[in-house]
Structure 1
Amino acid sequence: MSIADNIISLKKETGALKVTLLAVSKTKSNEDILQAYEAGQRLFGENQVQELVEKHEQLPKDIEWHLIGHLQTNKVKYIAPFISMIQSVDSMKLLQEINKHALKANRVIDCLLQIYIADEETKFGLGFDEAIELLRSDEFAELKNIRIRGLMGIATNTESEKQIADEYYELNTFFKGVKASFFRKDKDFNILSMGMSSDYKIAIEKGSNMVRLGSTIFGSRGIKHFKNVNPDLN
């Protein structure tokens, strides 16, 4: 199937379940992204700041870009003027930096708190207790140019479907608790981003309403190496 066919099929599948489809376009060429765009896809996710900035400059301006990879504080300034959502917020320091640059850009930036649920030391994210502490803090209450839209999590890279299902179940349970405790009257706190190409069906079963799919859409082809036009973005 072509990229366009994959998009049409997936949008039909996820749309029927009221799940938002985020196309993970990291390492994919502009041509591949445009194929998905022309099939109706508008939400795309990147994990490298330099690649994200270059694609934003070169591709249609109605694309909604999500940053889904680990974000260093010194790179926030490059994406703050245009980013639609930062899904990988994993510290108060990063949240404060996003708020600072959002204020400079005279906008409010949507964010998800990335929660650590995997049994892997290489994964990023806030622990459950750390997320609660952040949301209760005076520092958080002072941030007026960010909007927490929900939570994001990445499950363990394992063949055990039970482990993956358990991790997503725990995150959904935590999401409901955070919603009830901190965002009960906030209709905008409504995103639970769980699930990638290898496990998105499990994630949807466990309550995900946004899935991040790369190879399911684009396949493993189309890898592109980006030139280092700005070393600060690396």
Structure 2
Amino acid sequence: MKENRFDEEKRALRERLKSVMDQVHNQMVKSNRSIDDLRVMAVTKTIDPEIINEAIHQGIALLGENRAQELLEKYEIYDKQGVDIHFIGHLQTNKVRQIADKVCMIESVDSLKLASEIDKEMAKRDSVMEILVEVNIGGEQSKSGIAKEMTEQLLEQISSMRHLRVRGLMTIPPVCEKKEQVLRYFEDMYRLFVDIRAKNMDNIDMSYLSMGMSGDYLEAIQCGANIIRLGTALFGRRSRPVNV
């Protein structure tokens, strides 16, 4: 029964992935961009490692982990060769040590406190962690992320940390009923990204703009995203806990 269920899920994944990549390719062409300029992330929350490995075998080379504990439970099961893992969820400072050697980027840095803890942990390891600063572009109290107006100040504070390397920005916009609304948030985010990049701040490398999820990734691409984070679009709706 378990094998049959996985076979069915793998077939569905392959079909969804083909559909998504066709749409992504078409949107990149419309936006006069090369497909090589975009990274498609598979968001793995509650998805069985066997299904994640099938996504990897089908060409996915970037995984996004939301929860430290789940990452620890699934990490050794993944076929990790040639695959990058980013941490994209809210990260408590007491969890930094647990994931520091398992991810190559933390996308959800939104405070000086968290940045300092990551820097301290990486110093112990004589290593450098690549990070994105998460921006709360909609100013929602229910979401994490630094306020847009405070982003540059936080970047200046982080820039002196020797064991961090800022590679760009990340955001999750408010839920929008109309395409025009989400486009405004994405366009605002892109302007912030470009403005900061133009300032050439020390130790700040504005290479990545991570925005766009399963419901709005085409709009994100249209507005300049070069990392999109897809869960439901690849794996379908999550209806059960992960089985490891």
Aligned to 2:6: none
| Matches of 2:217 and 2:118, distance apart in 1 | 29
TM-score in terms of structure 2 length: 0.84
Aligned to 2:218: 201
Aligned to 1:3: 13
Tell me if structure 2 keeps the 8 A contact 1:29–1:223: no
Tell me if structure 1 keeps the 8 A contact 2:86–2:107: yes
Q: Residue 143 and residue 116 in structure 1: after superposition, are their counterparts in 2 closer, same or farther (change >3 A)?
A: same
Q: Are 1:177 and 2:177 an aligned pair?
A: no
1:129-140 equivalences in 2 (<5 Å): 129-137=149-157, 140=158
Aligned to 2:89: 69
Aligned to 2:28: none
Q: Residue 161 and residue 12 in structure 1: after superposition, are their counterparts in 2 closer, same or farther (change >3 A)?
A: closer
TM-score in terms of structure 1 length: 0.87
Tell me if structure 1 keeps the 8 A contact 2:46–2:241: yes
Superposed CA offset, 1:59-96 (max 9, x none): 12323111111111111000011211111000011011
Superposed CA offset, 1:125-157 (max 9, x none): 1112221112233xx243111110100011111
Q: Residue 72 and residue 31 in structure 1: after superposition, are their counterparts in 2 closer, same or farther (change >3 A)?
A: same
| Shift in Å, 1:40 | 1.5
Q: Residue 161 and residue 33 in structure 1: after superposition, are their counterparts in 2 closer, same or farther (change >3 A)?
A: same
| Matches of 1:212 and 1:33, distance apart in 2 | 14
Tell me if structure 1 keeps the 8 A contact 2:168–2:208: yes
| Shift in Å, 1:119 | 5.1
- Unpaired stretches in structure 2, ≥5 consecutive residues: 1-10, 26-33
- Unpaired stretches in structure 1, ≥5 consecutive residues: 228-234
Superposed CA offset, 1:14-67 (max 9, x none): 465432100111110111101101112121111111001222122123231111
> Which has the larger displacement, 95-104 or 52-61?
52-61
Match of 2:144 among 113, 118, 124: 124
Residue type of the alignment partner of 2:236: G
Q: Are 1:211 and 2:228 an aligned pair?
A: yes
Superposed CA offset, 1:156-195 (max 9, x none): 1121222111011000000001111144996x42100010
Tell me if structure 2 keeps the 8 A contact 1:115–1:131: yes
Aligned to 2:101: 81
Alpha-carbon RMSD: 2.1
Aligned to 1:230: none
| Matches of 1:91 and 1:124, distance apart in 2 | 10
What is the aligned residue count?
Answer: 224
Runs of 4+ more than 4 Å apart:
183-186
> Which has the larger displacement, 116-125 or 167-176?
116-125
Tell me if structure 2 keeps the 8 A contact 1:81–1:102: no
Q: Are 1:157 and 2:151 an aligned pair?
A: no
> Which has the larger displacement, 25-34 or 52-61?
52-61
